[in-house]
Structure 1
C-alpha cells in the first residue's frame, strides 16, 4: 500500500541516460504486459479471492450457483456448473471431455508454461481447473441443438435452420478469471518508475489516470511519454491541462510498423520526428531507446511461471520486491558507467 500510495523509490530518478537538457526535463515509456493473478469472476471486482481454487470472492460467492454460460442467469443444477438447459449441459460435458484429454492438457501446459502453486506453495491440484480461466468457446452440432432433421420446430418460435445453427457458438466461464495486464512506466535508462494492475482491459482512460496518479507531485512530470497507442491517448486527453506540456509520441518501432500513414492526427501529433529534442547526436537517429518498455517486459515476463498462482497480496509483494532489486542493480550500473543517477527533491 505504501508503494501504491507513494510510488516506487525511484519515482524521482534522473540520470544522463533518461534526461536530456535540451528544452525539457525527461522522457518516460509506458507499456503493458499480459500477466496477472487469479481474481474474482464478477466484472471489475477488486476483492481478493480466499483461495486460488475460488471462482468468486466472498462477496460474490452466490454467483457460483448461477449457470456459467454467458448471458444465462439460470440456476445451476446441484453438482453441475450449468442450468437445466440441454444445450448448456452438453457444453459442460464437452468441456469435461476436453479437460480429460491428455493430449489437449499437455498442449495447454506447454502454451501456458506454468508451475502450479498454491499461493507459492507446491500442491497437487486439478490442472484442468487451473488452466480454464477465461471464456471458452464451443461449437454444438446441429442435432444436439434442435434435432437432426430439416424443418424441426424451434422452441423459441419459427423453424430451425440446420446450416445456420451448425455455426452457433456458445461461450462459458467455467474457470477463474484473472487480472488483464500489468502496466509499467519505465525511464529510458531502464529504471522502473511505476507499476499498476489493470483488471478489465488496457483502456485509454485507465492509462491516462495511471499517468496522472504516478506524476501527481510537481517536478516529476516528464516532457515526453512514449506509448504504442499514444494517438488514441492524445485524442482522449487533448482538453486535459495535465497533459498540455507532455509530448505523447508513439515509439519508433510501432510508429513505423503498426500505425497507418493515413491517420492524419497520428502523423501530425504522435510522430517522434516532430520533436528535435528526441533526435540523436553524432549520426545517431534517436537520442533515447524507445523500445525500453518492451525490453523491460521481457524481464518481467520471466517471472510468469512463479507468480501466476499467487494470490494478490503475495503477487504484489513479490513483484514490487523484484522491481526494487532490479532498480538498485540498474542504478548501480548507471553510476559505474558514469551516468550520474540522482533523485530530485519534489519540494523544489
Structure 2
C-alpha cells in the first residue's frame, strides 16, 4: 500500500565520498532502499515522510541521510557539519532547530526528555494545537482523532527520541566545532579567565602579580553504582546491587526468597524496608518538615515506621552508641557526589564523580588533575574543608600546591569551623589573606559552588536512572551549555573575558 507523505529525505550525495574507493566522486550510487519514517519539525509540526538510502557497489558503503554504513562492520560514519535534520532512530528524524530548543529547555528549565516530548506532542506537533487543545473556547466541536492511524510509523514524539537526538546533536556540534570526526569525549577543563576571577595587583615591591582563585565543592546528585565501596565498574542493570565483578556478594547473608538469613534482627530490617506503608510515612515526614500537622486519623502505628530508602537502622539506640547500630542496604546504591572546581565568576572548570565519599585524598587528586603542574595552580584554592586538605598535604609532604593558599569560604568558616582550632585559624581563615579583600569587600565570590549547586541539583530527577555513559555525557553537555551562557552574560555585563592555555590555568 502506498501512503501519502509530506516529503522525502535522501543522502546528501549521489556519488561515493570514500577517498579510497574506485568510484570516489565518480560512480553514481545505486540500489535505493525506501521506507516510511516520521519527521518532527519546529515550524511545521510532525510530518509523515519517506527516507531513501543509496549503495556503492565498489566499497560496500550504504549512504543514509546523516551517515554511511560499511557492509562488513556496520560502523556509522557521519558526514562533516551539522545537518538540518538528524536521524535519531531507524524511523524517526528531528530537525536541528527543535533539538536546539530541547537542549536549552533541558539546560535552563531542567526539563526531562519525557516532558520535552509531552510539550511537543501537545503544543507543537500541530500548527493549530492551540485550537485543538481548547476546542470549547474556540467553539470547535470535538472530532475523532484520525491523523496517524493510517501511517505505519508513530507520529508521537517519545522521550527516547528526544534523548537520542540530544546526544547525536551534541556530538555533531562538538565534531563541527573541532572540524574533526565524531568522537565521544568529555569537555574536560574549560580554559577561561576574566576580570571577575583573574585580578592583577601591585605587590609591596611595586611589581605586578596575578591573583587567581578556584572554588571546590560537591553536589549529591549521582547515578546507580556497585554497592562495594568506591567500585567504579558500571552496573549491568540499574536495578542490580553489584557489578559483574562483585555479583558473588549477592549470596552473602541471604536465603531463598529473602535478602537476609534467618536472624530475627536482620529479618525485621527487611520487613520494615518493604512495608507498604513506608511511602505514606515518607509523605508524613515531608508534612512535618514543612511545619504542617499530620491528620490523626491517617497515622499508622509503629508497625509502619519508615526506615528510609537506601539504608535502615534497628529501632532504638544501642547502649554502645550509634556505631554499633545494625544497618542494612536493600536498594541500589548511588555515587556519593559530583565534585566541581569553578572560577568565582561562575565558569565550571572541571567536574568529577566521587563514588564512595568526599574523601580529602580524592579532592586532592582531583585538584592536581585539574592543575597538573605547579605553574598552573591558582593563588587561592577555596574548599569548605581546607583545614583537613592542608593537613593531608602536609602529612604526605605533597608540595604540589605549596604556592597556593587554602582558605575556607566565609559561610562555611563561620558555621562549621571551630574558633578553638588553631591549625584551622592559622591556615584557613579567609580574613588572614589581605589579597582577597579590597576596600572591605571580597575580591571573589567564594560561595559560587553553593549557588551553582542549586542549578545542578535541578537535574537530579532527570539523571538518576541514566546509565553511567549517558549520565556523564548528558551532564557534560549541560555544563558546557551553562559555561557558554555564563561567558555570554559576562561579556554583556562589560567584563573582559579571554581564554588561557591549559598550562596557564
Q: For the superposition of Structure 1 and Structure 2, which TM-score range results when normalised by the shorter chain? A: 0.7 to 0.9
- Bigger radius of gyration: 2
Aligned residues between the structures: 292
Residue in 1 that maps onto 2:213? 27
Distance 1:102 1:342, change over 3 A: closer
* Structure 1 unaligned spans of 5+: 68-75, 112-130, 142-162
- TM-superposed deviation, 1:270: 1.1
Distance 1:169 1:248, change over 3 A: closer
2:498, 2:368 → 1: CA distance?
Answer: 23
What do the CA deviations read for 1:262-312 (whole angstroms, capped 9, x no partner)? 1111111112222221112xx442111111111011111111111112121
Q: 1:59 aligns with which of 228, 242, 245?
A: 245
Conserved? CA contact 1:132–1:176, under 8 Å: no
3-state SS of 1:339 partner: coil
1:211, 1:259 → 2: CA distance?
Answer: 22
Residue in 2 that maps onto 1:122? none
- TM-superposed deviation, 1:110: 8.8
TM-score for the superposition, normalised by structure 2: 0.54
- TM-superposed deviation, 1:138: 2.2
1:268, 1:140 → 2: CA distance?
Answer: 42
- TM-superposed deviation, 1:105: 5.1
Q: 2:391 aligns with which of 212, 229, 235?
A: 235
From the two aligned structures, give the one with the greater strand fraction: 2
- TM-superposed deviation, 1:109: 8.8
* Structure 2 unaligned spans of 5+: 1-183, 202-208, 289-306
2:274, 2:242 → 1: CA distance?
Answer: 21
Matched, 1:293 2:479: no
Conserved? CA contact 1:219–1:346, under 8 Å: no
Matched, 1:45 2:231: yes
Residue in 1 that maps onto 2:404? 246
Whose RCO is larger (CA < 8 A, sep 6+)?
1
Conserved? CA contact 1:185–1:194, under 8 Å: yes
Q: 1:18 aligns with which of 197, 200, 210?
A: 197
Conserved? CA contact 1:132–1:175, under 8 Å: no
Conserved? CA contact 1:218–1:347, under 8 Å: no
What do the CA deviations read for 1:204-224 (whole angstroms, capped 9, x no partner)? 111111100111156532110
Distance 1:164 1:211, change over 3 A: closer
2:255, 2:384 → 1: CA distance?
Answer: 46
3-state SS of 2:466 partner: coil
Conserved? CA contact 1:133–1:177, under 8 Å: no
Residue in 2 that maps onto 1:81? 259
Q: CA RMSD in A?
A: 2.7
- TM-superposed deviation, 1:185: 0.5
3-state SS of 2:352 partner: strand
Conserved? CA contact 1:40–1:49, under 8 Å: yes
Q: Mean Cα displacement is larger for which, 17-26 or 227-236?
A: 17-26
Distance 1:347 1:66, change over 3 A: closer
TM-score for the superposition, normalised by structure 1: 0.77
1:133, 1:49 → 2: CA distance?
Answer: 19
3-state SS of 2:216 partner: strand
Conserved? CA contact 1:37–1:309, under 8 Å: yes
- TM-superposed deviation, 1:106: 4.0
1:221, 1:140 → 2: CA distance?
Answer: 49
- TM-superposed deviation, 1:133: 5.1
Distance 1:336 1:81, change over 3 A: same
Matched, 1:137 2:313: yes
Conserved? CA contact 2:374–2:400, under 8 Å: no
2:248, 2:287 → 1: CA distance?
Answer: 34
Matched, 1:7 2:185: no
The within-5 A match list for 1:144-183 is: 169-183=325-339
Distance 1:140 1:329, change over 3 A: closer
